Chains A and B, each alone.
Chain A
Amino acid sequence: MENPITSKKLKTIEEAMSLIKSGDRILVSGFGNSGDPKQLVAALSKQPIKDLTIISNDLGSPGIGLGALLTAGMVKKLIGNYYNWNPEVAEAFNAGKIDVELVPQGSFAEGIRAAGVGVAAFYTPTAAGTELSKGKDEREFNGRKYILQEAIKADVALISAAKSDTLGNLVYHKTARNFNPLMAMAAELVIAEVGEIVPAGTFDPECIATPHIFVDVLVRRG
């Protein structure tokens, strides 16, 4: 077999994990079982770190995917929107073991995008007047109630892509795109798990969904 193509951003999964510390706020992509960085998450769940704030759409299933982090007691706080697939979240929250901040999925996505594009906060009618608006500034525009949603940023983003080129330009596969391009913009350190690395210039520039400026580290999916 020929030597696989390499990249200056390519690291081993162990090297990538050494960049994550206790107490970090970590964005993790994916919706259900699509578009989540499965190997990065599996490796993270074995690290001797704790007090993590995990910012993700959902938390996998009990013991599976991101669920493994909760099962392993590494989570201090969750910020996300849909934990119905993992009943361990409600259990841990009701028992006072973890903090959970629910943000409606659209406000969650837009909040991450805002963090990535230098917007501190924005007003949205979503959740106005509901329990999820508690503590959030409310203002009326054109006779409708809006609430202030702050940007959601993080220390680290763990994302997943179908392919990268040697520069770190990313392309995705179907509904596996979901939160990946947003999270790639919203963290100090972005680690992307990719299925394949191809030479720069291979992708049609029109098809690159995440330009390489947003990507710091590549880890090849094993």
Chain B
Amino acid sequence: MFQMDEESAKIRIVKRIAREFMEMSAEKNLFVNLGVGTPTMVADYVKSDNVFLQAENGMLGVGPAAEPGKEDPLLINAGRVKVTETSGCAYFDSATSFGMIRGGHIDATVIGAFEVDQEGNVANWIIPNGKQLGVGGAMDLVAGAKKVYIAMPHTNKKGQPKLVEKCALPITGYGEVDVVVTEYALFRFKEGKMVLEEIAPEITLDELKEVTAAEFVVSENLGVLAE
């Protein structure tokens, strides 16, 4: 089966989500919170004046990473990256920031995940007894954002499906996932079902099923996963 290198896979995934945000923001402002890691890369491909990035540590209107030598150590995003201001940006305390998230004012969030299951449950915060202990804002984001996008590789490092029948790891939020984009496919959750809407041009439907443990239905208008 066709394998994509990690970097190309990430770029395909974030470009696809960026395109969706540009479409969503064509006629109205779109407020987006991007998770740490791959999701942050979405910002690099969104070309729109109507998309405003929110960082949960207290900023609306987050700009690109600061150039070396021009950093302000106190101006960071939620991934501790030193960032810049955009025109009209605003600062606020953490309760106001999570008020934006929990109060349903953020249109979309993009996060990574360990597992997503066929009921739209997501596990992305902890591997029990592991070396990391933390939840951050993940549970607030999946519960509060209007749309939850998952950006993740289709399989884990052992080659096992990350789209599963039922999450084995601790859940971040139940039934909260709206869209999953991997290097192989785009799925949307509609009326309790996981629907395959786009498939990568390099693979067949049978090949996709082999690496997907979750049950899904195929859209009548199945398209090609294009950036």
Name A's B-contacting residues (CB within 8 A).
31-35, 57-58, 81-85, 87, 89-91, 93-94, 100, 102-107, 109-110, 112-113, 124-132, 172-182, 209
Task: Tell me if A175 and B93 are in contact (CB < 8 A).
Answer: no
Query: Other than the known A81-B137, A102-B133, A125-B144, what 13 A-B pairs have Cβ atoms closer than 8 Å?
Result: A31-B57, A82-B135, A94-B129, A105-B136, A107-B140, A109-B93, A109-B97, A110-B95, A110-B98, A125-B143, A175-B91, A181-B93, A182-B93
The majority secondary structure among interface residues of chain B is loop
Given A112-B95, A174-B75, A126-B132 contact (CB < 8 Å): no
Interface size class of B (residues with CB under 8 A): 35 or more
Contacts of A178 in B (CB 8 A): 57-58, 93-94
Task: Tell me if A177 and B93 are in contact (CB < 8 A).
Answer: yes
**Distance in Å from the Cβ of A79 to the closest Cβ of chain B?**
12
B192: Cβ under 8 A from any A Cβ: no
Contacts of B93 in A (CB 8 A): 109, 177-182, 209
B34: Cβ under 8 A from any A Cβ: no
Cβ-defined partner of A175 (8 Å) among B75, B95, B134 = B75
Contacts of A109 in B (CB 8 A): 93-95, 97-98
* A109–B10 alpha-carbon span in the complex (Å): 32
26 A-B residue pairs with Cβ-Cβ distance under 8 Å, sorted by A, are A31-B57, A32-B57, A32-B76, A33-B80, A81-B137, A82-B135, A83-B133, A83-B134, A85-B80, A89-B133, A90-B130, A90-B131, A103-B135, A104-B136, A105-B137, A110-B102, A126-B143, A128-B143, A130-B170, A173-B74, A175-B74, A175-B76, A175-B91, A177-B58, A177-B91, A179-B94
* A110–B55 alpha-carbon span in the complex (Å): 17
Name B's A-contacting residues (CB within 8 A).
55-59, 72-78, 80, 85, 91-95, 97-99, 101-102, 129-140, 143-144, 170-174
Given A34-B76, A128-B143, A182-B93, A106-B57 contact (CB < 8 Å): no
Task: Tell me if A100 and B133 are in contact (CB < 8 A).
Answer: yes
Contacts of B139 in A (CB 8 A): 104, 106-107, 126-127, 130, 132
Task: Tell me if B98 and A106 are in contact (CB < 8 A).
Answer: yes
